[in-house]
Amino acid sequence: MTTARITIDRDFRVGDVPRRIFGSFVEHMGRCVYTGIYEPGHPQADERGFRRDVLELVKEMGPTIVRYPGGNFVSGYNWEDGVGPVDQRPTRIDGAWHTIETNAFGLHEFVDWAREADVEVMEAINLGTRGVDAARALVEYANHPGGTAWSDMRRANGAEDPFDIKVWCLGNELDGPWQIGHKTPDEYGRLAQEAGKAMKLVDPSIELVAVGSSNTGMPTFGAWEHAVLNHAYDEVDYISLHAYYQEHDGDAKSFLATATDMDYFIESVISTADAVAAQRKTKKRINLSFDEWNVWYQRGLDTDDQPHNVERSWRTHPRLIEDEYNVTDAVVVGTFLNSLLRHGDRVTIANQAQLVNVIAPIRSEEGGPAWRQSIFWPFARMSQLARGSILRTAVTSDKVDTAKYGDADVVDVSATWDEENGTVAFFLANRGLDERCDVSVKLGGFTASGISRAEVLTIPDGGTRLTTNTQDAQPVGLTPLEGVTADGSTLSLQLPALSWAVVVVDVTRA
């Protein structure tokens, strides 16, 4: 058995839990929209074509903000194609994913769906093939009350009231050569500056996200952020980060430690943004929007589910990157959520990519059922229970020796204090593949009076670390974590090997 000691203190807080870090992402890619959230004619579809079974799972999972409509898709997208009478909308080629886009689902439909799902809209604009004029027109269409050409067009299209979209992404992954409209840092920085300025002239209340690096391995990482912010610092409110991780060659130990790379990514971007602030002698601080993150098994472009091998007939909503997630993936996703929460003073928006079918916590079948993947559970519980203040965690733990990241703590943890309800919530992962971990927690400034929740996700009976959920059976989920005790200022528990757990302690001030 391994061991870990954790210390928290009521007076050592990172900041308030930013509710927008529990965000998700809907892109016009694969089956995320069509046969995902939207499938007219499905037995569970409402009169607007929204799948009620998927909506119920979305509400259970609890995302707070959803980024739309892309992703790589947005860099070749004309937003005007997705508004107006559906039977008059054009059918277009989508070069990003080598598919046909019917535009049967667009901005109005997504805003209606978001209201039904009780999520905030985070809208991305096309700065790949388009620019300043289209950007400001879209803000006017979406947010201006009326009496102008674009706002009156929205009203004529059935939305009398403004959509009041507050968060806008200034393009997507334009540092990447794969992106339609790929740009140098200076080209993008100037465009983001001018587009952002024009958009805020239409609606000064909006918040803008500048494109950051697509991952830490990009050759321009660091230099990209510095150059972009040198141009657009005054106009933007956030810089974005994107990162996907997977298990390589059976190296589960390194895979389970990948949140350490997420920590590094976040802290590097914070440092770069603050260096630009110091250089500019400004007190304004740029926050981070980690608006794409997940486990994604990127198998290359020669497999059946990748766009470059899609039949030359150009299909609508083909199956693309529909990964099936196992127990190990769920534990890793839990550590990613911990990393985001621990940095919640600066990472104030985050979006798991994507919501349905495409590398997603929710799966659905055309004409068939919808179900929860293994990675659904850490997100759902943290969105539900991470409330109030983020507490700093000091960890002294046995180590896992990894080939890629060196020594990593066997236990990964984040914690929050909900002062209003008198609870402290712990979100813990045991990275150990084979051994249980004996965990003790010192509750500085608190007296524990009981345990109100203790649940764990681990290898199910008869399963392995590679066990997944399917439409026919969902063996991977949360079960009660037995043996958790709280005595005064000490919490004690045992984490099974390869597990993610949530423990909520009832507390009073010591």
**Alpha carbons 258 and 290: distance in angstroms, whole number:** 15
User: Cβ of 351: how many Cβ atoms within 10 Å?
Assistant: 29
Which residue's entry shows tokens 């593949």? 433
The three-point CA angle 217-222-225 to 5° equals: 120
Which one is catalytic: 80, 120, 123, 292?
Answer: 292
| Residue 292 appears among annotated catalytic residues | yes
- Token representation of residue 241: 């980060």
**Helical H segments across 259-319, by residue range:** 259-280
**Alpha carbons 432 and 439: distance in angstroms, whole number:** 13
Contact 224, 175 (CB under 8 A): yes
Contact 97, 73 (CB under 8 A): yes
Q: For residue 444, what are the contacts with CB-CB under 8 A and spacing of at least 6? A: 7, 8, 9, 10, 11, 12, 489, 510
Q: How far is CA 24 from the centre of its chain?
A: 5
**Alpha carbons 504 and 423: distance in angstroms, whole number:** 6
**Alpha carbons 194 and 163: distance in angstroms, whole number:** 23
| Residue 247 appears among annotated catalytic residues | no
Best CA proximity match to 25, nearest among 316, 474, 362, 385: 362
Which one is catalytic: 173, 225, 235, 247?
Answer: 173
Question: Which residues form the catalytic set?
Answer: 173, 292
